[in-house]
Amino acid sequence: MAAVEPQTVVIIEAPPFPVPVFEPCLVLPASPPGLIENRQGSLEVIAGKELRARGGRGWEMIRYKMDCIHGCVLEARGFNVTLGAGGRAVRTYDDRRAAVKVLFKGSLAKPHAENPMDEIAAMQLIAARGGHPNILPITAALEDTTALYLITPYCDGGDLFDYVCMNGGLSEDERLESEHPEAVRARELPPLTRARPLFRQLAEALAFLQREDIAVVHRDMSLENVLAISVDPSAAGTMSSWVLQLVVHDGGSLFVMDFGMSVRLPPPPSADARALIAPQSQRGKAKYMSPEVFAEAPFDAKADIWALGVMLYTMLQYSQPYSRPHPSDARFHAIAVLHSDARFHAIAVLHPYARFHAIAVLHELERCVSRPLTRDALHLIQWCMVATPALRPTVAQILGHPWLTRQ
């Protein structure tokens, strides 16, 4: 078996994002100032408030949704103002509602792991490259003297973590249930809610982020940072919107969001070199964090590949694979650290779709799962969660994996 040629590793500081661009806006009516007020200890939208931008574009505030870092999130209704017959202003409303993330300028100077300016810059960079149907698009970035306003589609279907919990985990597909009829009868398998089409959307979004002209490492890929939007705007906010959206499994249903911890990947100095980002403090959720990020070691886009493997494990098992990515965690050690077997390295690199029937590491993963999985699913999860980042698959290899290509 031929040896794998090692790459030259170069550690480089992450290049900055382009400076985000904001369009000036007005909060109307001007008095009282702002969009929200405190009513008897509860934050609520001030009645009649709207944001107005150039060209007749605007957003009417509907309700206060939640707090966020440096501000809050409001639900709004977008509209366009045009001149109708007789020169009268005509207001036409969007079919879908919008989310308005209000970031108060007085709070932005406070240090935090999430950088809202990088988040907006990353979203604008993605939009400038054409956007992707599975990445939350930016509708507008506005500012006035007191706040920044990030406007995106309002995702009424909740997040993917909620969906997994609501269903008690997801199935691979119908074939898995036919392979394990005893488990189905014993209710050890979740309802028939297929994970494969949803996972494919996540992998395709990641492939877009890792394009050379974008080169964004998300660093906080998680089920909680994937939102869904209903197929039918009239179903907004109802539980049926989940059924409409995710049982059908149409493309474009899921949106990767929350780029506040993202960083740009530096280009390698030569074709035979591998560029790593210089060590930074821990970012993201420990239960999805790759071991190199957890250890504050140099990292690259393979950190997002690790998180993708954790997401697939969680979707199919309805549990997290470990508590933290450290050898002291027994489950982490069983899944990731035991990959030091030389046979695993050789087969993973040279024969990436081998089934590992005789490799001990696959049996270690099987001991960590509580629900039966196909060999292809086990292999894909295990490959994404290799402790050595260079041995993890590329996104192209994930999208070409038998578990995703199988009809």
Let me know whether 59 and 143 are in one domain: yes
Is residue 77 a part of any domain in this protein?
yes
Inside any domain, residue 1 = no
Distance (Å, whole) CA 125 – CA 185: 49
> Does a structural domain hold residue 4?
no
Tell me which of 103, 130, 153 is where a domain ends: 153
pLDDT at position 181 is 59
Among residues 300, 302, 260, the alpha carbon closest in space to that of 280 is found at 300
- Among candidate residues 159, 173, 220, 304, the one labeled active-site is 220
175 and 242 belong to one structural domain = yes
* Residues 30 and 58 grouped into a single domain: yes
Q: Would the annotation count 101 as a binding residue?
A: yes
3-state class of 317 per DSSP?
helix
7 belongs to a structural domain: no
376 is in an annotated binding site: no
Distance CA 154, CA 259 (A): 16
- Which tokens sit at 82? 């045009």
Q: Which domain holds residue 47?
A: 12-153
**pLDDT for res 241:** 41
pLDDT at 384: 92
Quick one: pLDDT at residue 244? Answer: 36
What is the Cα–Cα distance from 384 to 395, expressed in whole angstroms? 10
| 294 shares a domain with 360 | yes
CATH of the domain at 70: 3.30.200.20
Among 153, 177, 205, the domain boundary falls at: 153
Specify whether 118 is located in the same domain as 188: no
E strand map for 216-369: 216-217, 226-228, 254-256, 263-264, 273-277
In a domain, 170, yes or no: yes
Strands 71-83 vs 57-68: parallel, antiparallel or unpaired? antiparallel
Q: Domain end: 120, 153, 186, which one?
A: 153
Is there a contact between 268 and 252 (Cβ–Cβ < 8 Å)?
no
How would you write the pLDDT of the chain (407 residues) with one tens digit per residue?
Answer: 333 445 788 999 999 999 999 999 999 999 999 999 998 888 999 999 999 999 999 999 999 999 999 999 999 999 999 988 888 889 999 998 999 999 999 999 887 778 999 999 999 999 999 999 999 999 999 999 999 999 999 987 789 998 888 888 888 865 444 555 565 555 554 444 678 989 999 999 999 999 999 999 999 999 999 998 765 545 444 434 443 344 434 344 789 999 999 999 999 888 888 899 998 888 889 999 999 999 999 999 999 999 999 999 999 999 999 888 888 888 888 777 665 444 444 444 444 444 433 333 455 666 677 788 888 898 899 899 988 898 899 999 999 999 998 75
| 3 within some domain | no
Q: Is 258 annotated as a binding residue?
A: yes
In a domain, 44, yes or no: yes
From CA 111, how far away is CA 69, in angstroms rounded? Answer: 11
Query: Residue 389: is it exposed, middle or buried by C-beta count within 10 angstroms (0-12/13-18/19+)?
Result: buried
- Count of domains observed in the chain: 2
> Can you point out the beta strands (E) in 69-164?
71-83, 89-104, 140-143, 147-153
Encoded tokens for 14: 């992450």
Instruction: Please tell me whether residues 182 and 223 are part of one structural domain.
Output: yes
8-state DSSP, 344: H
Same domain membership, residue 55 and residue 125 = yes
The yes-or-no answer on residue 220 being catalytic is yes
What are 276's strand-pairing partners? 11
Q: Is residue 6 part of a domain?
A: no
The pLDDT score that the predictor gives to residue 172 is 85
Q: Are residues 234 and 296 in the same domain?
A: yes
Residues 148 and 181 in one domain: no
- Shared domain for 164 and 110, answered yes or no, is no
Q: Within this chain, do residues 282 and 344 fall inside the same structural domain, yes or no?
A: yes
pLDDT at residue number 58:
97
CATH number at residue 206: 1.10.510.10
pTM over 0.75: yes
**Which residue matches tokens 């979707």?**
315
Q: Tell me what pLDDT residue 209 has.
A: 98
Tell me, yes or no, whether 143 and 178 share the same domain.
no
Concatenated DSSP letters for 157-187? T-BHHHHHHHTTS-BS-HHHHHH-HHHHHTT
